[in-house]
Amino acid sequence: MNDQVATALVSGLVALLVAGGSGLLTLVQIRREHRKWRTDLKAAWALENHKTRLASYPDAFAVIQRLSHGSSDAATPQVAAKVADDLNDWLYSTGGMCADADTRGALLGLRHGCRRWAKSGGQRPDDLYTWRNLTLEFLRRDLDIMGLETYGSEPDATMLEKLQQELENPRARKVIKKKTP
């Protein structure tokens, strides 16, 4: 084999290796950019979803408030019928579209309990306040805010200390305690 052929083969092999290496590096970079783009898109979507929930969930809280023990009007079958209608409207609005599946399920359970009470006109269903409390807990969870958990009433507990405790034990705030109606 003469020197020109050997030089051409070596040059071709080097060019092939450089092109293959460049192609591989380009593919890795494209995949990295694609992952970054997907992560950024998911983060933007989560932020917009959270903003939408912050704007629409107060309406659900206002509807459910009418079933509260501290409400100015006592809960009656007629109030329950109105609550059921308003919850139905909310479920088919922006709030229902952005709510988590568990939250929608709890809202449907509460709506069903209210309708059942409105139709029977008799005693309040035993599970109505269980569905109410569960719904409130899921709405709060969707917003990532604390709900019916215990809270410290010590006057010296600062927000920084509470945040530090929460960071040290993040599962403590996720515990759902059953409350009797």
- What is the DSSP track for 57-73? HHHHHHHHHTTSTT-SS
d(CA 125, CA 145): 29
Q: What is the pLDDT of residue 100?
A: 92
d(CA 104, CA 152): 31
Q: What is the pLDDT of residue 180?
A: 45
Q: What is the pLDDT of residue 59?
A: 95
Structural domain contains residue 179? no
Domain that holds residue 79: 3-174
Structural domain contains residue 98? yes
Q: What is the pLDDT of residue 2?
A: 87
d(CA 31, CA 55): 36
Structural domain contains residue 181? no
Structural domain contains residue 180? no
Residue that the structure tokens 């306040």 belong to: 129
Report in angstroms the alpha-carbon separations of 17 from 2, 20, 30, 106. Answer: 23, 5, 20, 60
Q: What is the pLDDT of residue 170?
A: 58
Structural domain contains residue 50? yes
Closest CA to 86 of 60, 56, 106, 104: 60
Structural domain contains residue 139? yes
Count of domains observed in the chain = 1
Structural domain contains residue 78? yes
d(CA 170, CA 98): 25
d(CA 60, CA 96): 9
d(CA 140, CA 162): 18
Q: What is the pLDDT of residue 172?
A: 52
CA 159 to chain centre: 24
How many residues are recorded in the chain? 181
**What is the full per-residue pLDDT of the chain (181 aa) written as tens digits?**
688 888 888 889 999 999 999 999 999 999 999 999 999 999 999 999 999 999 999 999 999 999 887 766 778 889 999 999 999 999 999 999 999 999 999 999 999 999 999 998 888 888 888 999 999 999 999 998 865 555 555 555 565 666 677 677 755 544 444 444 4
